[in-house]
Structure formats: structure tokens, C-alpha cells
Amino acid sequence: MILTPHFNKKEFASRDGAGMPEPVWQNIRILASQLEVLRAHLNKPINVTSGYRSESYNERIGGVKDSQHTLGKASDLQVKGLKPKTVYKAIEKTRERLDKKKSLIGFIGAPWTLLIYMLGAKQNKKEIDFLKIKKKDFECNLILDKLHDYLCTHIENQINAGANVIQIFDSWSGLLPAEDLPNFCFIPNLKIVDFCKKKKIPVICFPKGINKYYKEFNNIVKPDGLNLDYDIDPLWAKENLNNVVIQGGLNPKTLLSNDQEMIRNAKKYLDIFHGKPYIFNLGHGLIPETDPDKVETLIKFYKDY
């Protein structure tokens, strides 16, 4: 069934063949209309790699429990011919419009996290096919080395475009066995941090999910900033993470609660890190259903704190 001039229902179907409930179908029609606008702006074909997901399929592939895919409100996309220079141009435009006193953060995925995506090694939300990686240990290390080179180029291009801080997201570092953290997490991040320091580029690391190994990561990698995920106890972080600027930690779901609860949780982080180098932020990205007014309320609270 054709939804718009360039999208049809089949593209958004759950890959396990499950049917779409009526509310999902209505959301998919709205989503397709929005993507049609995006396609017109890019003037390039858009390939939908994942649209609606049944709850069982979403769980099987490791999607988050409250994924917008299960509601038909999200899609994963590929756009052929969309090159990194598009990102750099966007950074240039943002820098032009942004107050010069404000920092503009560039982003990269860490080598390990990119490797997981490249090999399709993620089995579900909490597991990876580590045997697949171990069987190709030599090839994987070659890929990690190549990724390092490409990422360093990507960092420099973002800085040249106007970014003045870089954040490294290692989203799947928490899936690594403890004994493999040095080879796949600590060392690749260290090499990028060393590159940034040589170029005098401030760098923040986010090794999500490694729990108590945050301390070892910090002692080895020595980034300028360290982003906490929301499972890290801020009191533990204050006592164990030294000589680094702490960032984030607040659970994004806090913004789904009432204002009083949200502000209480935010105040906890600000009180704990009072007097310490701290960047107030979330412990991960905003949840799609977050009310923008909540974000505005939180920012106002922080500015008045």
C-alpha cells in the first residue's frame, strides 16, 4: 500500500511479519508523511531499515523496552550519498548562530561500539555474539586500527567546522566481559584521547554501562571529561573519579515525572557535585516522548540554582 509518493507500508512492516495494530498504522502514516518532507529537503532516496517492531521482535533484537518503534513512531534510515561533509556544514551553520561564549560539542562513536554495529554482533539489549569477534580477533583489531584513523580525521573536520569539544560515545562498552575491557574499550579510547590532547582538543568520554570500571577507565584513559550513565551512584563517582570533569548522570526518565520529582532528582546531582568540576546533563539522550516544556523547566531550575 502506497503511503506517500516515495514510501509504502511494506517498508515499515515489522521484520517478524507481525501485523500492525490500528494505532500503530495511524502513526506510521504520520511518520511516512514526515519522512516525505525530509526526502524533499535532502533530494535523495531514503531507505527505511527498520520501521514498526512488534514487542517480541524488538526484544529479540535488543531494542529498548519503551522503544518508539513499537508504537510506529520511529524508523531507522539510510541515505545513500549523504557524506560527512553534510555534518560539517551543519556544524558550521550552528556555530554561526550560536553565542560565541557557548561550547559546541562534536560527537563520534568509539571504535568498539562501531565494530559491534559493523559486524551485527549485538544479539539483544544485554548480549553480544562475542564468539564471532574472538574467532576473527586479528581482523577485528585491523578494523579497530582503521576506525581510529577515520575517527581522528572526523574529529579534526568537526573542529575545523566550528566544534570546540569532542565527546566519544562507547554505547556498548557495558557488554564487554571485564577481562576484555582493556583491549576493546580502554586502549581504543585512550588512543583517541591522546590524539585530542596533542591537538589541544578538550575531550569527554562516555563508556556507558561499565559500572565500577569507570574508575579504572578514568585512571588509564585520563579524559578531560567523563559522562556518567544513570546507573552510576553520584556519591561513588564523587569519591572515586578524580582529576576529571564529571558530566551528566541524571536519568532521562526523570523528565517524565512531575516537576517536583524531576527537580528533586536534579538537585541531588547538583548538591553532590557542588564545588566540583561538573557539567549538568542527562545520563543518556532524551526519551522521544519527553515534553519540551519539561526541558525548559529543568533548564530554568538549573540556571536559578
pLDDT tens track for 163-215: 999 999 999 999 999 999 999 999 999 999 999 999 999 999 999 999 999 99
Asked if 123 and 239 sit in the same domain, the reply is: yes
72 DSSP 8-state letter: T
Asked if 112 and 139 sit in the same domain, the reply is: yes
Asked if 69 and 90 sit in the same domain, the reply is: no
CA distance 35 to 102: 32
Treating both helix axes as pointing N-terminal to C-terminal, what angle do 214-221 and 187-198 enclose, rounded to 10 degrees?
40
Nearest to 245 by CA among 295, 199, 205, 301: 205
Alpha helices in 54-136 (DSSP H): 55-60, 84-97, 111-119, 130-135
Rg (C-alpha) for the chain, rounded Å, is 21
Is 162 part of any domain?
A: yes
Is 268 part of any domain?
A: no
Asked if 55 and 106 sit in the same domain, the reply is: no
Distances (CA, A) of 137 to 140, 176, 212: 5, 14, 26
Asked if 90 and 190 sit in the same domain, the reply is: yes
Asked if 64 and 95 sit in the same domain, the reply is: no
Q: Which pLDDT does position 62 carry in this prediction? A: 75
203 DSSP 8-state letter: E
> To the nearest whole percent, how much of the chain has pLDDT over 90?
69
Residue type at position 279: I
Asked if 88 and 181 sit in the same domain, the reply is: yes
Asked if 50 and 131 sit in the same domain, the reply is: no
Structurally, the chain folds into a number of domains equal to 2
Domain boundary among 78, 93, 123: 78
> To the nearest whole percent, how much of the chain has pLDDT over 70?
99
Residue 163 CB contacts under 8 Å (≥ 6 apart), including other chains: 91, 95, 104, 105, 106
Asked if 122 and 244 sit in the same domain, the reply is: yes
For residue 66, pLDDT beyond 90: no
- Contact, 298 vs 261, CB < 8 A? no
Asked if 69 and 128 sit in the same domain, the reply is: no
Is 298 part of any domain?
A: no
CB neighbour class for 78 (10 Å; exposed up to 12, middle 13-18, buried from 19): exposed
Residue 176 CB contacts under 8 Å (≥ 6 apart), including other chains: 112, 184, 185, 210
Asked if 132 and 238 sit in the same domain, the reply is: yes
Domain boundary among 30, 48, 78: 78
Query: Containing domain of residue 24, as a range?
Result: 2-78
Asked if 59 and 132 sit in the same domain, the reply is: no
CA distance 198 to 234: 30
Q: Which pLDDT does position 117 carry in this prediction? A: 83
Domain boundary among 234, 249, 264: 249
